[in-house]
Amino acid sequence: MDKKNALRTGALAAGTTLMMLLMSSPALALTRDDGDDPGTGLSVIETLGLYVVAPLVLFGVVAGLVMVLDKSKEEHRVTSTNIRTKNS
């Protein structure tokens, strides 16, 4: 990529980021909407459990199921013992 395209790409990325930051201003969150009925906040433990522990557990379950239910044959797996190189 030449210098002109890199500069154009950088300017576009910076402009897009700036517009996103300006449009998502936290000041807009201070105005309550009609019918707004917020509940109680989450504790630190609840937040960590919901946004850290739960995704890690879900990932572990999916990865475990993939490994346990793997039906591929041993000869199709790429290992250091079955790699063949072309001799020239």
Average pLDDT, the chain: 84
Reported confidence tier of residue 33, pLDDT bands at 50, 70, 90: confident
Flag whether pLDDT at 88 surpasses 60.
no
What pLDDT was estimated at residue 37?
Answer: 82
**pTM for the model:** 0.49
Structure-token match 């041993």, residue found: 74
Residue 21 carries which DSSP code?
A: H
CA distance 41 to 23: 25
What pLDDT was estimated at residue 12?
Answer: 94
More confident residue, 73 or 55: 55
